[in-house]
Structure 1
Amino acid sequence: MTTTTKPAAPAPATAAARRLGPTGLALRQGRLEIRQFLRSRESVVFTLGFPLIMVLIFASIFDEEIAPGVDYTQYFITGMIATGLLTVSFQNLGIWIPIERDRGVLKRYRGTPMPKWVWFAGKVIMVLVIGVVMTALLLAVSVALFGLDLPGTATAWLTFAWVSTLGITACTLCGIAISSLARTARSGSAVVTPIALVLQFTSGVFFVFTRLPDWMQQVAALFPLKWMCQGLRAVFLPESFAADEPGGSFELTRVALVLGAWCVIGLVLCLTTFRWTTSRDG
């Protein structure tokens, strides 16, 4: 995915801005990032529209049961929620940050008195807001058109919250980290999109995970998307489906541990690899 929208330049450090506290600075930067995202029609359509379009297509084609009381649509929707969170965070950041770096936006931010963490906070706020909107749209369409049953207990909603939070945190950090691999603005999509697509096909999004080859399951288990999908299946699918999972249960403890580990890994990679300037800037 490419875009020609010009990233917003850093706001000047006015006296009013300097009087803002940490929360105010983060929220202001978050609003700026959200406005910048909304100005790019390509990003909005791809991020919010892709999961909805995929659900409409696959749910209309496949209507068979994959387990007693579980049809393909129920299974697929859980995977698309996870994919949507991956797209909002990992894929969008991995594509957009190289564009901002290549156009000198990050270099200008680095040269302002604004604390560097404010820029990262703005990205996180943008990802969270767009992620919530995307998830709400996906759930609304799935309930209205395909009869998706929403979680009926507070425990299930709590599981939904922590799986989504850990998952989008891990993907956000990894998206910021992988942005350093792109040498130019144009190469960001070429670096990130293939990785995202491979993870979707191997993590049980489009196909029932246990029907994939064993080696593919083992590879997918190394990355966050597989565990995001598994955690969300625990929320939206009946308890009886747990027997069809690789470990014979939804393994929510392991889901939390793996996603938490990826949050740590992503943070370390961000701290050690992130670049504010391109190689030609020195």
Structure 2
Amino acid sequence: MKIKKIMVIGAGQMGSGIAQVCAQSGFNVLLHDSNKAALEKGMNRIEGLLQRAVDKTRITKTEKENTLAHLNPSYDLRDAKDCDLVIEAVIENMDVKTAVFQTLDEVTPEQTILATNTSSLPITEIAAVTNRPDRVIGMHFMNPVPVMQLVEVIRGLQTSDGTYEVIKKMSEDLGKTSVEVNDFPGFAANRILMPMINEAIYAVYEGVASVEDVDKVMKLGMNHPMGPLTLADFIGLDTCLYIMEVLHEGLGDSKYRPCPLLKKYVSAGWLGKKSGRGFYQYEDA
């Protein structure tokens, strides 16, 4: 099977990033969002990022125009009727995602591959609401998508070898490096990353070191490009908490218990950069 036309569902930061790299790689792309304002913002974000790349001579003006020519907005999920692949990138909520997949199962041809960009939810459970679990797969892109090279390709219990091979090849066509991951809570990336972030929060909570010094330890001592608490703010503390809860519930091990300070910040609405306050304060949120 050859992928030619793709729909990306969700015009937020992740969805628009996925749509951008797909269009830049020559795929015909529909960026879908039921919220007109969100879709317009997502399309504008892509154009702005492409223009910035032109200004920095990373791409040519012609490459920008070619990318935009491969990209169109969509307000109706039924537009996926002639797509070879649909990549869902909506909110990290099982009820929302399964509702999307049920609709996609009805409106797309049976050979269409349905992928989810979930960072932690079980692929097998999402696939179970469709009549094509062999054609459901995880494609977990890293943020920001145009910059980060990794894609976790996650196989559900019934994902076929053929589906995996198509998505592995497609990831390579995007200029990404894929890793094959089985369907466990948090997959590989977040099973490793989130407990580290959670432990960094515990270090602050227990008075081991300040926020700034915990970040300095990991940047200067471990050569990380960004401290774990800064990274948590950029990911979103609500997202970090949600993934820790998935790990804790799914694996049943107390070592994945979310730090009480993380819960308190989320309850206070301190969600990180997007809310203007997390472990740091942000004036441009």
TM-score normalized by the length of structure 2? 0.25
Question: Which structure carries more relative contact order (alpha carbon 8 Å, separation 6+)?
Answer: 1
Structure that is richer in strand per residue: 2
